[in-house]
Amino acid sequence: MVVDDHPMWRDAVERDLQAAGLDVVAVAADGHQALARFPAARPQVVVLDLQIPGPNGVEVTASVLKTDPSARVLILSASGEQDDVLEAVKAGATGYLVKSASREELLDAVRRVARGDSVFTPGLAGLVLGEFRRLSDPTAATRDDPWHPELTERETEILKMVAKGLSYKQIAERLVLSHRTVQNHVQNTLRKLQMHNRVELTRYAIEQGLDEDD
């Protein structure tokens, strides 16, 4: 579903998505149209401009995800301002591209967001992670602690074991968890840290000193 109040831009995005073999099940020119058409269309991904006639993009994001939590929202906005990015992410958007992005970047972002990945225009991912680290632990900025408090205690515990070279099976046995549960925790950690595989995760954890004994 494509939501944008500029007809030429909306048509161009719709055309690009369709040309790439993606199904555009609905389009909308403002927040009211988007919310009215969303329940029947049930798009997997909503490509949404922030600056649309009310309700605005942040409000639409929150509303569509309340209606269907499995939907994904990719913001496509002219603004790369910190406040706009953070408000969108807090509302539930899993991706944010500025409109200077290329056609290929848009198509790649739509596909990745559909798979559940978080996708941001270069430079914005660090901003988002940094802000949420600050919000989740206001004292983090004032102490010498490289760790990211957005990870749960269990995720941190498993990451420490990954850093020490333990296999998923060994971790599962130590923590009396199923192999699948350990895998799920690792996947959640990868997503939160914007990483792609266990190699990156292990390197990061070692850099943070998580392979050392407490």
Strand partners, 98: 77
More confident residue, 11 or 167: 11
Amino acid at 207: E
Distance CA 55, CA 67 (A): 15
Strand partners, 97: 76
**Both tokens assigned to 27:** 């389009």
Q: Are 89 and 120 spatial neighbours (Cβ–Cβ below 8 Å)?
A: no
Distance between CA atoms of residues 75 and 71, nearest Å? 13
Model pTM?
A: 0.62
Residue 145 confidence (pLDDT): 43
Distance CA 183, CA 129 (A): 22
Quick: pLDDT tens for 133-160. Answer: 555 554 444 344 444 447 788 888 888 8
Asked if 93 contacts 61 with a C-beta cutoff of 8 angstroms, the reply is yes
How many angstroms separate the CA atoms of 141 and 16, rounded? 43
